[in-house]
Chains A and B, each alone.
Chain A
Amino acid sequence: MASQPLLDQLITALRCLPGVGAKTAQRMSYYLLDRDREGGKHLARVLAEAMQQIGHCSRCRTLTEMEVCRLCANPQRDASLLCVVETPADQSMIEQAIDYRGRYFVLGGHLSPLDGIGPREIGLDLLDQRLAEGEVEEMILATNATVEGEATAQYIHDMAKARSIKTTRIAHGVPMGGELEYVDGVTLAHAFRGRAEF
């Protein structure tokens, strides 16, 4: 059996990216081959290295090629504050948007029993070890505002409570620039319950 032409293999391979269908994959392939071979070679090199070397930080579980990620290794960071997020993307979002000086813990998902994801699968045993070290004084729960995110926050809150560590949860509600008229009822109800003194 003749093997698939290389061009077809490239197009098929590119389709593993999220949001990339047959058409886009084809366009990407032609672009790299016709216009930007150097860029393509560079991409291939970096991609291969990244897939080989990037793993999870042994402290916070974020993606890094080192044993301990840069954030965890940085002594300037306040070790008494720990922000728990679902994904590395959430972590980088907070890093960019807020002047947060504490540390992170990246779960890599949320509790979702129906997908077979329990406490162990999102590294809560590691988080519990971390709490046991006694450095953390406040834990900021920045999981998503979904039912699963809420359950995850609740579970971690109970863990922290058992060790008498203070937990806080990020506020949910009306987005900045949002008009009440267009906010859905669920969000509005949450915003109302979580109102803060003015």
Chain B
Amino acid sequence: MSGKPLQPCLVIHRRDYRNSSLLLELFTLDEGRMPAIARGAKSGRAPRAALLQPFTPLQVSFSGKGEIKTLGQVEPEGQVFSLNGKRLYCGFYLNELLMRLLQRNDPHQQLFAHYVTVLSALANGASIDECLRDFEVKLLRELGYALLLDRECETHTPVVADKLYAYVIEQGPLESPQHDSAVSVDVHGRTLLCLQHGLAMDRTTRLEAKALMRRILAFYLGDKPLKSRELFRGFVQPE
């Protein structure tokens, strides 16, 4: 075996390839999102398929020169983030966001750290809404779409918790009372400040934050809706 350096990564998605191989989409610390093939992962005496799953922190090495690298060594790195029930769907939601918004081979070391943090928080029973909103804000910031949350976008005065703002996408909170729901979302200052600082939210703030982030993400995601949201609908009652 060659002594190629190992690097931390998590599997975002996997699908079967040929008889016993897996085609993986990885989120690595040093290279961002990248595809890789794990040859023979499902066969042999010690199949690696059990390790090569989403939400399992790994250390891996690669070889090959093309876009799709071949996976070499795979080592587990600590405990699996065990997500149950709705938290598992949240994990899929996060992965779908990464898959849709991250470009391949574009390193985001900070975002990788945020991703590990949010998975660990979800696995340890933290509030689902707060975890997801916090990650969404950080994700957009890392991608270069940082949201203006603590200042009014025209006057640049600090946002006041009790005031109602109209949040204009790609600009920020606007104090003027004009309402055009096609381009803006009504939101209280308190919600904006919670999002900015990752603070604990009450029920109203949570709903407002969810509606706001959904509109903002929809803007960056384009027409195709997120499939993982379907999992939350229907039979599973919202919290």
Contacts and interface: CB of A to CB of B under 8 A. Distances in A.
A119 B231 contact: yes
Given A146-B53, A158-B236, A113 B96 contact: yes
Nearest to A155: B231
Interface string A115-131: 11111100000001000
A75 interface: no
A25 to B, nearest CB: 15
Contacts of A159: 235
A117 B15 CA distance: 13
A154 B88 contact: yes
A147 B19 contact: no
Interface in B183-239: 226-228, 230-231, 234-236
A151 B92 contact: yes
Interface string A5-28: 000000000000011000000000
19 contacts: A113-B227, A113-B230, A114-B95, A114-B96, A115-B13, A115-B15, A116-B227, A117-B227, A119-B231, A147-B91, A150-B88, A154-B84, A154-B85, A182-B45, A184-B51, A186-B53, A186-B56, A186-B80, A189-B80
B19 A18 contact: yes
Interface of A is mostly: helix
Contacts of A117: 227
Interface in B87-116: 88-89, 91-93, 95-96, 99
Most A-side CB within 10 Å, residue of B48, B56, B227: B227
Given A115-B13, A119-B230, A151-B89, 10 more contacts: A111-B231, A113-B230, A114-B92, A114-B96, A118-B230, A147-B91, A154-B85, A158-B236, A186-B50, A186-B56
A182 B48 CA distance: 12
Interface of B: 12-13, 15, 18-19, 25, 45-46, 48-51, 53-56, 76, 79-80, 84-85, 88-89, 91-93, 95-96, 99, 226-228, 230-231, 234-236
A159 B12 CA distance: 26
Max chain B C-beta neighbours (<10 A), residue from A113, A120, A151: A113
Interface of A: 18-19, 111, 113-120, 128, 146-147, 150-151, 154-155, 158-159, 162, 182, 184-187, 189
Q: Which 10 A-B pairs have the closest CB atoms?
A: A113-B228, A113-B227, A118-B230, A114-B13, A159-B235, A158-B235, A184-B50, A147-B54, A186-B50, A147-B53
Contacts of A146: 49, 53
B19 to A, nearest CB: 5
Nearest to A21: B18
A113 B231 contact: yes
Contacts of A151: 88-89, 92, 231
A159 B55 CA distance: 25
B227 A114 contact: yes
Given A19-B19, A147-B55, A118 B227 contact: yes
Contacts of B88: 147, 150-151, 154
Nearest to A193: B82
Contacts of B12: 114
Contacts of A114: 12-13, 25, 92, 95-96, 99, 227-228
Nearest to A161: B235
Contacts of A115: 13, 15
B52 to A, nearest CB: 10
A150 to B, nearest CB: 7
B46 to A, nearest CB: 6
Nearest to B229: A113
A51 B19 CA distance: 23
Interface centre among B12, B91, B231 (most CB of A within 10 A): B231
Most chain A CB within a 10 A radius of its CB, from B88, B91, B235: B235
A185 B76 contact: yes
